[in-house]
Chains A and B, each alone.
Chain A
């Protein structure tokens, strides 16, 4: 019987091989190509998202800068269009600083920003959200929250103020003698909305000898005595304020930072001068004797000095010197000036360590006029920046959802 089994009939010719081989190769190549395509397609998306994220952050920071500008203008040039008044007329501020007004920055994106009152009178809370490409269908958003601040305005109610931080059970007295002049009556020196109440103000008594001239402000008194410590708190630097002043003074070009007792026989650099304890620690009633310092300012100066002299200790001023701004000592102050010099601004002695009473001593040398000047206290005779800036330690980038 002849078999019909012909196992090799299919191989009579090989024309059918091309298709399977081609298909196999094509499948392999297509698989690789697809994998590569998926990979190369996702990379630009990731990169684009990354860029959008960076752009959104930049937009949010633009909002912060806009708010800082508006606050600064509100302080230094209140009539500027877009300025935010100081103090805030409402919290949050009006458009576009109410958090609900979208400010477009070209076609890339934009921001919303709000300005509200902070914990202190010189603090504002800024919240800015950056959007890319817009706030309707954003691809990326970033939110920044920070506290803005400016240099604290002490706005003391007196030309010479003593007390506020004296240890319990100790006296803080002011002694004024000779022909000393303390004048708080020059109304053009007043700050808008700030009315001084006395030429001198003390937690203890204000004693006079000789023929001193204490000129009271309108409606005020020459000497305000036996005031409680709480009446001083609004115009004192807290320890946190002191630390910030110290940091600013340490920055090159922003101030002068010195440690230990100092003597100035000629005008020191204008601006903030922060004289620290030798240890750098805050000055307290229990500071060691090595941390008790005195800054001696004397000589015959050919030109004046303007700024804030902030001392973690005592200040002794004598000779013919002219100083504009703020003299702030956490211990005692002795004013013994002469000649045509004098102080325009305010002198504050907080008396943290009761080593002696604060005195204005003009008995031996004629005159040592101290003229109340609130404006000079605020800006250090034009040397202290009034700009608003981000308060260190408050900048936070937070989630937007």
Chain B
């Protein structure tokens, strides 16, 4: 720094302006990258939870032998498990948790169990043997399941990870004539 007399105010202002512009650019890039990451992570989370829950519910419904209670947000039914035993379960929504309550045979684990959290909506519709919508449990032959999930940890609505995933499947009870 020998021979230098320091920076003038103009030089400092220009340097500050240039640095600010540069940092703003860098910040924008980082922000975009972070947003993209949060978006992807949020999307993956809601899709995976939705997929897992739908798989389990539909697998058991597929092996169903009868529906004993049918409402728009819960279903109680009997199904035949891998060993040929008849199992009675209820799937329902409790807050944002999808719960599975096995009443027969009574399992060792405490019931009900939470299948997944972060459920935004569960919509069940039922169809009889003529594929006509019904609300009478005894007539149910097919169940349509629509599950909408959201992040389990609540985030601001404008946050990139505040995603929704809607999955849907229609299952015919294979053990029901």
In the bound complex, residues from chain B placing their C-beta under 8 Å from that of A9 are: 1
Q: For residue B41, which residue of chain A has the nearest CB?
A: A39
In the bound complex, residues from chain A placing their C-beta under 8 Å from that of B47 are: 43
In the bound complex, residues from chain A placing their C-beta under 8 Å from that of B170 are: none
Q: In the complex, A29 Cα to B37 Cα: how many Å?
A: 11
In the bound complex, residues from chain B placing their C-beta under 8 Å from that of A39 are: 37, 40-41, 44
In the bound complex, residues from chain A placing their C-beta under 8 Å from that of B2 are: 6
In the bound complex, residues from chain B placing their C-beta under 8 Å from that of A390 are: 174-175
Q: In the complex, A158 Cα to B157 Cα: how many Å?
A: 78
* B-facing residues in A22-49 (Cβ within 8 Å): 25, 28-29, 32-33, 35-36, 39-40, 42-43, 46
How many chain B residues sit at the interface, stated as a range, is: 20 to 34
Cβ of B164 under 8 Å from chain A: no
Q: In the complex, A248 Cα to B65 Cα: how many Å?
A: 14
**A395 close to B29 (CB less than 8 A):** no
**B63 close to A397 (CB less than 8 A):** yes
Q: A32-B30, A397-B59, A398-B82 are in contact. Are A392 and B65 (CB under 8 A)?
A: yes
Cβ of A247 under 8 Å from chain B: yes
Q: In the complex, A326 Cα to B86 Cα: how many Å?
A: 33
**A252 close to B59 (CB less than 8 A):** no
Question: In the assembled complex, how far is the CB of residue B32 from the closest CB belonging to chain A, in whole angstroms?
Answer: 9
Cβ of B129 under 8 Å from chain A: yes
Q: For residue B82, which residue of chain A has the nearest CB?
A: A398
**A251 close to B80 (CB less than 8 A):** no
In the bound complex, residues from chain A placing their C-beta under 8 Å from that of B55 are: 50
Q: Chain A 140-164 against B: per-residue CB contact (8 Å), 1 yes, 0 no?
A: 0000001000000000000000000
The 3 lowest CB-CB distance pairs between A and B, nearest first, are A32-B33, A395-B174, A8-B1
Binding site for A on B (CB under 8 A): 1-2, 26, 29-30, 33-34, 36-37, 40-41, 43-44, 47-48, 51, 55, 59, 62-63, 65, 80-82, 84, 86, 128-130, 174-177
